[in-house]
Chain A
Amino acid sequence: QQPVQSPQAVILREGEDAVINCSSSKALYSVHWYRQKHGEAPVFLMILLKGGEQKGHEKISASFNEKKQQSSLYLTASQLSYSGTYFCGTGITGNQFYFGTGTSLTVIP
């Protein structure tokens, strides 16, 4: 029931774009996205509650395709500060929630 993320790891140069995908084998009703920097706690980025909903702030946005049971996180014009591990979290019922496998993102100058 753990959602699968792809890619597992990605290296970008500053200014490049990236997409991280999150797929579930179960029907979803919510998706969270978190970023965790090395040695720190995960930090909540955003939540999507409706199929087709897109959210974002600054240059990080996400979409949620309820039919395909997928979500994607879009990082535009990446900055060094975007480096970290990104996790999706999926709600499959009101009381069941699973974190994804994680995607390591490294932005280099």
Chain B
Amino acid sequence: DAGVIQSPRHEVTEMGQEVTLRCKPISGHDYLFWYRQTMMRGLELLIYFNNNVPIDDSGMPEDRFSAKMPNASFSTLKIQPSEPRDSAVYFCASSFRRASEYGYTFGSGTRLTVV
């Protein structure tokens, strides 16, 4: 398996623009997580899905953030409009069954810079 695949690896955008991050989880994993990592706040859970259904989105900072998982092999995280404080590394991770009982496999991340 190729692992969790994220795209793009780097994104530089201007404030106010829409940004879409993409993730392909490992086949057979039924949990998918979106995390944001910054120096100040560490790894923050934004949202997670189980069998393509959003379970907990309490970590999504504002209405400007939205996430979808239309099928088992694809998820997107969208920021509209983007702001400089959204600059961070965004990781997608997937897991088999209950995430707390198995390890997470992380994608390589998307480094987002909003100028």
Binding site for B on A (CB under 8 A): 2, 29-30, 32, 34, 40-44, 46-47, 49, 87, 89, 91, 94-102
Interface size class of B (residues with CB under 8 A): 10 to 19
Whether the pair A43, B42 counts as a contact (CB closer than 8 A) is no
Whether the pair B101, A91 counts as a contact (CB closer than 8 A) is yes
Instruction: Tell whether B109 is near chain A: CB-to-CB under 8 Å.
Output: yes
Contacts of B103 in A (CB 8 A): 32, 44, 46-47
Contacts A94-B98, A95-B55, A97-B99 given; does A44 touch B104 at CB 8 Å: yes
What number of residue pairs across chains A and B have CB atoms under 8 A from each other? 46
Whether the pair A32, B43 counts as a contact (CB closer than 8 A) is no
Residue of A nearest to B101 (CB): A30
Whether the pair A30, B100 counts as a contact (CB closer than 8 A) is yes
The list of the 7 closest CB pairs from A to B, nearest first, reads: A91-B100, A44-B103, A41-B106, A99-B43, A97-B100, A30-B100, A42-B106
